[in-house]
Amino acid sequence: MQFLPFFLLAAGVLVMLQPRTKRWKARMNAHFQGNEQRIKQRANTFFLLGLAFVLAGFAYLFRLVG
């Protein structure tokens, strides 16, 4: 269980950075047929999900250390 906080931190950063890739943008553009509002909404959702993973990782890490 000692690797779980680091896994959550890494997964959170990965999920937060995913909407910035060219491949992700191209796939979302094709899926939403160029609707920029829906693409930005999906990117914000990914950012918030990644932030939740990062915060959970820090919470587990502080609980493990303290």
Average pLDDT value over all residues in the chain: 95
Is the pLDDT reported for residue 1 higher than 90? Answer: no
The answer to whether the pTM exceeds 0.85 is yes
- Rounded CA-CA distance 48/45 in Å is 5
- Rounded CA-CA distance 27/43 in Å is 12
Is the pLDDT reported for residue 21 higher than 80? Answer: yes
Per-residue pLDDT tens digits for 25-50: 999 999 999 999 999 999 999 999 99
- Rounded CA-CA distance 59/7 in Å is 13
